[in-house]
Homo-oligomer: A and B are copies of this chain.
Amino acid sequence: MAKGILFVLSGPSGVGKGTVCTALRGKLPKLVYSVSATTRSPRLGEEEGINYFFKTREQFMNMMQNDQLLEHAEYVGNYYGTPRDFVEKTLESGNDIILEIEVQGALQVKEKFPEGVFIFLLPPSLDELKDRIQGRGTESQATIDHRMSVAVDEISLMQHYDYAVVNDEIDSACKRIESIIVAEHCKVRR
Protein backbone atom coordinates (compact mmCIF):
# COMPACT_ATOMS: atom_id res chain seq x y z
CA MET A 1 0.00 0.00 0.00
CA ALA A 2 1.20 3.53 -0.77
CA LYS A 3 2.20 5.54 2.30
CA GLY A 4 0.08 8.52 3.23
CA ILE A 5 1.25 12.13 3.05
CA LEU A 6 1.93 14.47 5.96
CA PHE A 7 0.27 17.88 5.55
CA VAL A 8 1.07 20.77 7.86
CA LEU A 9 -1.38 23.66 8.08
CA SER A 10 0.09 26.71 9.72
CA GLY A 11 -0.10 30.49 9.69
CA PRO A 12 -0.14 33.44 12.07
CA SER A 13 -2.27 33.44 15.19
CA GLY A 14 -5.77 34.72 14.39
CA VAL A 15 -5.73 33.65 10.74
CA GLY A 16 -8.33 30.94 11.31
CA LYS A 17 -6.32 27.68 11.22
CA GLY A 18 -8.65 25.97 13.68
CA THR A 19 -11.83 27.01 11.87
CA VAL A 20 -10.47 25.87 8.50
CA CYS A 21 -9.27 22.58 9.99
CA THR A 22 -12.66 21.92 11.55
CA ALA A 23 -14.38 22.70 8.25
CA LEU A 24 -12.05 20.25 6.46
CA ARG A 25 -13.01 17.39 8.78
CA GLY A 26 -15.08 14.74 7.10
CA LYS A 27 -14.45 16.08 3.60
CA LEU A 28 -11.50 13.80 2.92
CA PRO A 29 -12.08 10.25 4.20
CA LYS A 30 -8.40 9.30 4.21
CA LEU A 31 -7.27 12.37 6.17
CA VAL A 32 -6.50 11.83 9.86
CA TYR A 33 -6.06 14.70 12.32
CA SER A 34 -2.91 14.62 14.40
CA VAL A 35 -3.39 14.29 18.15
CA SER A 36 -0.99 16.37 20.26
CA ALA A 37 0.72 15.35 23.45
CA THR A 38 0.35 17.83 26.34
CA THR A 39 1.30 18.24 29.97
CA ARG A 40 -1.85 20.17 30.80
CA SER A 41 -4.65 18.45 32.72
CA PRO A 42 -7.61 17.02 30.82
CA ARG A 43 -10.66 19.27 30.76
CA LEU A 44 -14.15 17.90 31.25
CA GLY A 45 -15.05 15.60 28.34
CA GLU A 46 -11.56 15.43 26.87
CA GLU A 47 -10.45 11.90 26.09
CA GLU A 48 -6.97 10.37 26.05
CA GLY A 49 -5.86 9.70 22.46
CA ILE A 50 -8.84 11.60 21.00
CA ASN A 51 -8.32 15.20 22.11
CA TYR A 52 -4.77 14.82 23.43
CA PHE A 53 -2.27 12.33 24.69
CA PHE A 54 -2.00 13.46 28.30
CA LYS A 55 1.52 13.21 29.68
CA THR A 56 3.30 14.06 32.90
CA ARG A 57 6.04 16.63 32.62
CA GLU A 58 8.59 13.84 33.06
CA GLN A 59 7.05 11.72 30.30
CA PHE A 60 7.00 14.75 27.99
CA MET A 61 10.67 15.53 28.69
CA ASN A 62 11.55 11.91 27.95
CA MET A 63 9.70 12.13 24.61
CA MET A 64 11.63 15.29 23.77
CA GLN A 65 14.97 13.74 24.66
CA ASN A 66 14.26 10.56 22.70
CA ASP A 67 13.29 12.48 19.56
CA GLN A 68 9.72 11.23 19.84
CA LEU A 69 8.22 14.65 19.07
CA LEU A 70 8.20 16.26 15.62
CA GLU A 71 7.81 19.67 17.27
CA HIS A 72 6.99 21.07 20.66
CA ALA A 73 6.25 24.39 22.32
CA GLU A 74 5.44 25.79 25.73
CA TYR A 75 2.24 27.76 26.14
CA VAL A 76 1.10 29.35 29.44
CA GLY A 77 3.16 26.95 31.52
CA ASN A 78 2.25 23.73 29.70
CA TYR A 79 4.01 21.79 26.99
CA TYR A 80 2.41 20.74 23.73
CA GLY A 81 3.95 18.58 21.01
CA THR A 82 3.33 16.31 18.03
CA PRO A 83 4.14 12.64 18.72
CA ARG A 84 6.22 11.21 15.88
CA ASP A 85 4.87 7.72 16.52
CA PHE A 86 1.22 8.63 15.85
CA VAL A 87 2.19 10.45 12.65
CA GLU A 88 4.36 7.60 11.33
CA LYS A 89 1.83 4.88 12.12
CA THR A 90 -0.93 6.84 10.36
CA LEU A 91 1.23 7.32 7.25
CA GLU A 92 2.26 3.62 7.24
CA SER A 93 -1.44 2.64 7.29
CA GLY A 94 -1.89 4.52 3.99
CA ASN A 95 -3.82 7.43 5.47
CA ASP A 96 -2.80 11.07 5.23
CA ILE A 97 -2.34 13.12 8.37
CA ILE A 98 -2.78 16.84 8.93
CA LEU A 99 -1.10 18.89 11.65
CA GLU A 100 -2.56 22.26 12.58
CA ILE A 101 0.28 24.07 14.32
CA GLU A 102 2.03 27.39 14.89
CA VAL A 103 4.56 28.73 12.40
CA GLN A 104 7.66 27.95 14.50
CA GLY A 105 6.42 24.40 15.17
CA ALA A 106 5.84 23.84 11.46
CA LEU A 107 9.46 24.76 10.73
CA GLN A 108 10.60 22.25 13.39
CA VAL A 109 8.50 19.59 11.62
CA LYS A 110 10.04 20.55 8.29
CA GLU A 111 13.52 19.82 9.63
CA LYS A 112 12.52 16.37 10.86
CA PHE A 113 10.07 15.58 8.06
CA PRO A 114 11.11 17.44 4.89
CA GLU A 115 8.90 15.19 2.72
CA GLY A 116 5.82 16.76 4.33
CA VAL A 117 3.67 19.29 2.47
CA PHE A 118 3.64 22.69 4.18
CA ILE A 119 0.63 24.94 3.72
CA PHE A 120 0.63 28.53 4.98
CA LEU A 121 -2.75 30.08 5.70
CA LEU A 122 -2.73 33.82 4.97
CA PRO A 123 -5.15 36.54 6.05
CA PRO A 124 -6.74 38.43 3.11
CA SER A 125 -4.84 41.49 4.41
CA LEU A 126 -3.04 42.71 7.54
CA ASP A 127 -6.00 45.00 8.31
CA GLU A 128 -8.30 42.00 8.21
CA LEU A 129 -5.98 40.08 10.56
CA LYS A 130 -5.96 43.03 12.98
CA ASP A 131 -9.77 43.05 12.90
CA ARG A 132 -9.84 39.34 13.71
CA ILE A 133 -7.39 39.68 16.61
CA GLN A 134 -9.26 42.72 17.95
CA GLY A 135 -12.58 40.99 17.34
CA ARG A 136 -11.90 38.55 20.13
CA GLY A 137 -12.41 41.61 22.34
CA THR A 138 -10.31 40.19 25.14
CA GLU A 139 -6.92 41.76 24.47
CA SER A 140 -5.32 45.07 25.43
CA GLN A 141 -3.95 47.41 22.76
CA ALA A 142 -0.39 46.43 23.73
CA THR A 143 -1.24 42.73 23.28
CA ILE A 144 -2.87 43.42 19.92
CA ASP A 145 0.18 45.40 18.76
CA HIS A 146 2.47 42.59 19.93
CA ARG A 147 0.40 39.94 18.17
CA MET A 148 0.39 41.95 14.96
CA SER A 149 4.14 42.34 15.05
CA VAL A 150 4.56 38.58 15.65
CA ALA A 151 2.16 37.91 12.76
CA VAL A 152 4.20 40.08 10.38
CA ASP A 153 7.36 38.19 11.39
CA GLU A 154 5.59 34.88 10.89
CA ILE A 155 4.28 35.83 7.44
CA SER A 156 7.87 36.51 6.38
CA LEU A 157 8.54 32.79 7.04
CA MET A 158 6.02 31.82 4.34
CA GLN A 159 8.89 31.32 1.87
CA HIS A 160 9.78 28.07 3.67
CA TYR A 161 6.36 26.64 2.86
CA ASP A 162 5.18 24.82 -0.27
CA TYR A 163 1.77 26.46 -0.61
CA ALA A 164 0.06 29.67 0.50
CA VAL A 165 -3.73 29.73 0.83
CA VAL A 166 -5.58 32.98 1.47
CA ASN A 167 -8.33 32.50 4.07
CA ASP A 168 -10.68 35.00 2.48
CA GLU A 169 -13.69 32.75 2.93
CA ILE A 170 -13.60 29.44 4.84
CA ASP A 171 -15.29 27.45 2.12
CA SER A 172 -12.94 28.57 -0.65
CA ALA A 173 -9.88 28.16 1.60
CA CYS A 174 -11.03 24.58 2.33
CA LYS A 175 -11.52 23.85 -1.36
CA ARG A 176 -8.00 25.08 -2.13
CA ILE A 177 -6.56 22.88 0.61
CA GLU A 178 -8.56 19.90 -0.68
CA SER A 179 -7.16 20.61 -4.16
CA ILE A 180 -3.62 20.68 -2.77
CA ILE A 181 -4.18 17.29 -1.11
CA VAL A 182 -5.59 15.75 -4.32
CA ALA A 183 -2.80 17.25 -6.45
CA GLU A 184 -0.05 16.04 -4.12
CA HIS A 185 -1.35 12.48 -4.54
CA CYS A 186 -0.98 12.88 -8.33
CA LYS A 187 2.69 13.91 -8.12
CA VAL A 188 4.87 11.60 -10.21
CA ARG A 189 7.77 11.74 -7.74
CA ARG A 190 5.63 10.04 -5.06
Contact = CB atoms under 8 A, between A and B. Distances in A.
A60 interface: no
A119 B188 CA distance: 9
Contacts of A126: none
B182 A186 contact: no
Interface string A116-142: 000110000000000000000000000
Contacts of A183: 163, 176, 179-180, 182-184
| Copies of this chain held together in the complex | 2
Contacts of A21: none
A161 to B, nearest CB: 5
Contacts of A179: 178-180, 182-183, 186
Interface residues of A, number: 20
A187 interface: yes
Contact of A162 (B120, B175, B187): B187
Nearest to A182: B179
B175 A188 contact: no
Contact of A187 (B163, B175, B182, B186): B163
Interface string A154-173: 00001101111100000000
A187 B119 CA distance: 9
B164 A188 contact: yes
A50 B165 CA distance: 35
B162 A188 contact: yes
A9 to B, nearest CB: 12
Nearest 4 Cβ contacts at the A-B interface = A183-B183, A179-B182, A179-B179, A163-B186
